[in-house]
Structure 1
């Protein structure tokens, strides 16, 4: 769960942290970690309720089948059936209907608890989020490659931290922005075709990227601490800077995102008795890790020197990191993101198919193999072609689609699942995986918070655009 949460969003957090002020950032980070933990417990409760509903439907089907078998039985078969134990009744009496043993993804939970409009809105939110993910990935890889392979006279690691202008030369007459677009085209040509096929058996790739992530983050924290300890820290972050809160909110929401992957993550856990406590421990570790990463970053580098992706502050930096470490950190997002991009793209393509799925129908070959992959791949690549402002991409994705996935959907899932469980199993049957925030007021508080954040971020964007 730690590896799932700590991903690309964490690399954009130090700059957002510095731009909003360290005190405001810390308070918001702690509060958003708490909110994310709350909605995670909502999803766990909804998973248990979905398991109970599916189990109940299965029991009902068995009873119907047994009833029809009794009608077709001869007298001798009927006598033998009378002395057999009533297995369905025993199962119902002994088995806990809320035991999480079957993986029920969020889409399936939406189909169980939401109406048709709710299901469509759910898939729309998931699709927008995945588009944002792909756009962030498509921009992050070329940026890293440009930073590592383009050199200029003022690209030292001093006060400017290697920040360079897009119009500066990269290779002769080729500008940095041109090099970025060339790398984007190569990235699309190499990884785009995976969208047209299925991606399977990525276990060892995921293990390798997890190890690289741990090594890279540890190196960055240690290097920043060494520089601060030597008295060379250039950061003097303010306490608060309201203009940076909008992006910080989106980045933090994106960086705590795990709700959509919880069914795959938690269902295989063998002992789920202390699941809520273990999840709380995970969130506490992630919060401590983010705080350590961000505070070492903002006191090591000045706010103007921090780059959109924190790894880029170490690439090509002779005094701060040995060349080998600089290249490793600069290329770290390239390797990790390149392994995740095809998986996210295939997931998005399958969500499009599910949204437009016709009962009992199949898609023509051209639509299935060409149209769906193209509408999956083209928009994020076009967005990455137009902008490589990673902080804004992460902020907008988190503030809108991330807001829906992390707050709105879990709150409605838990409210609807409680209502459905009461109707199907009766009000007396207790869900042992019920959230510690069991009062309905908590779910409504989450929805109110999500609406407030949506209004704030939208108003902030509008006012920023119209201001001179």
Structure 2
């Protein structure tokens, strides 16, 4: 849970803060009953939030109206907004920050900056869709708790019917101006609960992932096909992400091994070093894919520090090199070598930008532990904004620093020649002689730390496939719980089925840009733009939240979820698909 509270009340019924609507059922004001519903909802949760990463434990004060000796203290436990921004930046500044300078070289600074900004803006809109859909998925679970509670309390059900009958009699006598009753008692009770207790009902108690959300709200025959398509897209995207990570890690390790061999006076074949790195990465990844990655907080923190330190060094070295070029060649000459607008390279930037901001399938896990949950949109805005300015700075300094280089590849020894921008930007720093070559080795090796992200991608893909095939597996006597247990036969088979293809792809090609362009341009685009939009629309339909009397104070309600917002996202999706297809297959 992200919040734990204990409150003692003198009476079972209190008037809770709510929207200005009339109350029919007294149970919607019963603190005892509301606590009971919250407990049932939490017991029904499949993927409970728990407490992760950076924590905050803060005393909220004593319950109102009670002396300190009698009232229990209330505490709130969760991830701080500042910590959430740091962890979000850690995810955003991974692979794409290294591949984006090459994309900017292909598309130009202006077109690249605009493409990334447009992708970021639409991704933020759909991220708010994802957050609201997450709250509605939790509300659906809460309403199941209401049904379970009423099913076990016949006296309360009878009381609800009596309260409704009382209002009906008042309407007939003209005492009450309530509208006529045309639905069942339970449905009216649920609607009143939404209006009066929106903060409780729409609270995030469970991490409902993208695929599971599709299964929850896409229930018709046609929608069932749509749910399967969502699973297919997610699996394709996570496979592509894992493949790009494997290529990046193996390439970084391979070049690091070459540099070390050169420093030792030896020569190492580039292809051999790469293939050996792929095999070593596979041997490390397989056991980690069965481990409990929730206990690797310290390791994650070390990786985060190294990554931010490397980015700072990349910026400082490229800025110094740019300054030297300007001093030697003049500003005008340097800027003439910087491309500004090259539409033929649009796909290179767009695929990278989708990989960069397309974190929507991770948002339930990343944002659920946040406390207060209302800060989630601000965390995403802050993380996206910092990442955008950081990325533009890295790409611009890269173009000004290395734009005049003519060598296709950099030297593998300190003090050697530099080269034009490489598909992985850190490879541009292999000839750096700073620190006797140690800084160059650090910059070459640090992307290899992304190996810690490969098991995460594998586990995400495995769990998604497990959820997708859940019914089929259950019919064949394979409980889903066995997929979560390490080294059971079903878990081993499914894990190997997931972990092997990315390494096969890495052995076939080292072209990480190609992987990003195709996977990001199609599967990534669909996960980031289309899926959150259709899921929010169907989630709202499931609870009829587009009605005029829907609660206006729902937590994490997206201000973009209207006809204009939906149209903007769908048009952006269609235009992007058209441009990606045109550039990849017809030019």
Deviations along 1:148-190, one digit per CA (max 9) or x if unpaired, are 222599x99xxxxxxxxxxxxx965x63223211221222223
Q: Name the CA shift for 1:271/1:353 in 2 (closer, same or farther; >3 Å).
A: closer
Correspondence for 2:455: 342
Alignment of 1:15-94 (within 5 A): 15-67=102-154, 93-94=196-197
Separation of aligned partners in 2, 1:408 and 1:141: 30
Q: Does 1:324 align with 2:404?
A: no
Separation of aligned partners in 2, 1:219 and 1:258: 26
Q: Structure 1 stretch 55-64 or stretch 112-121: which is displaced more?
A: 112-121
CA deviation after TM superposition for structure 1 residue 39, in Å = 0.8
Task: Please give the secondary structure, in 2, of the residue aligned with 1:58.
Answer: helix
Correspondence for 1:132: 240
Aligned match for 2:517, one of 365, 376, 395: 395
Correspondence for 2:16: none
Correspondence for 1:357: 470
Correspondence for 2:204: 100
Correspondence for 1:83: none
CA contact (8 A) 2:212 2:467 kept: no
CA contact (8 A) 1:132 1:393 kept: yes
Separation of aligned partners in 2, 1:9 and 1:420: 37
Separation of aligned partners in 1, 2:435 and 2:117: 31
CA deviation after TM superposition for structure 1 residue 347, in Å = 2.0
Alignment of 1:9-408 (within 5 A): 9-67=96-154, 93-94=196-197, 96=199, 97-115=201-219, 116-150=224-258, 175-195=269-289, 199-231=293-325, 236-302=337-403, 305-318=420-433, 322-334=436-448, 336-358=449-471, 360-361=474-475, 362-363=477-478, 368-408=490-530
Q: State the Cα RMSD in Å.
A: 3.0
Task: Please give the secondary structure, in 1, of the residue aligned with 2:152.
Answer: helix
Q: Structure 1 stretch 449-458 or stretch 40-49: which is displaced more?
A: 449-458
Separation of aligned partners in 1, 2:206 and 2:461: 23
Separation of aligned partners in 1, 2:207 and 2:285: 29
Separation of aligned partners in 2, 1:2 and 1:410: 21
Q: Name the CA shift for 1:350/1:95 in 2 (closer, same or farther; >3 Å).
A: closer
CA contact (8 A) 1:316 1:327 kept: no
Task: Please give the secondary structure, in 1, of the residue aligned with 2:544.
Answer: helix
CA contact (8 A) 1:314 1:321 kept: no
Q: Name the CA shift for 1:197/1:433 in 2 (closer, same or farther; >3 Å).
A: closer
CA deviation after TM superposition for structure 1 residue 245, in Å = 0.7
Task: Please give the secondary structure, in 2, of the residue aligned with 1:268.
Answer: coil
CA deviation after TM superposition for structure 1 residue 366, in Å = 8.5
Deviations along 1:265-291, one digit per CA (max 9) or x if unpaired, are 222222234443343232221211111
Q: Name the CA shift for 1:184/1:441 in 2 (closer, same or farther; >3 Å).
A: same
Separation of aligned partners in 1, 2:225 and 2:120: 30
Separation of aligned partners in 2, 1:449 and 1:95: 32
CA deviation after TM superposition for structure 1 residue 321, in Å = 6.9
Correspondence for 1:416: 538
CA contact (8 A) 1:400 1:454 kept: yes
Separation of aligned partners in 2, 1:103 and 1:366: 25
CA contact (8 A) 1:25 1:248 kept: yes
Equivalent pairs, count: 431
Task: Please give the secondary structure, in 2, of the residue aligned with 1:150.
Answer: helix
CA deviation after TM superposition for structure 1 residue 68, in Å = 7.7
Separation of aligned partners in 1, 2:225 and 2:154: 36
Separation of aligned partners in 2, 1:152 and 1:428: 64
CA contact (8 A) 1:415 1:440 kept: no
Correspondence for 2:558: 435
Deviations along 1:57-89, one digit per CA (max 9) or x if unpaired, are 211221111128989xxxxxxxxxxxxxxxx99
Separation of aligned partners in 1, 2:210 and 2:244: 23
Deviations along 1:233-258, one digit per CA (max 9) or x if unpaired, are 97722111122111211011101122
CA contact (8 A) 1:53 1:424 kept: no
CA deviation after TM superposition for structure 1 residue 211, in Å = 1.0
Deviations along 1:308-353, one digit per CA (max 9) or x if unpaired, are 11111112422x675111111110011x212111222122222222
Separation of aligned partners in 1, 2:357 and 2:425: 17
CA contact (8 A) 1:9 1:394 kept: no
Separation of aligned partners in 1, 2:301 and 2:519: 27
CA contact (8 A) 2:354 2:524 kept: yes
Separation of aligned partners in 1, 2:125 and 2:435: 40
Q: Larger radius of gyration, structure 1 or 2?
A: 2
Correspondence for 2:71: none
CA contact (8 A) 2:325 2:401 kept: no
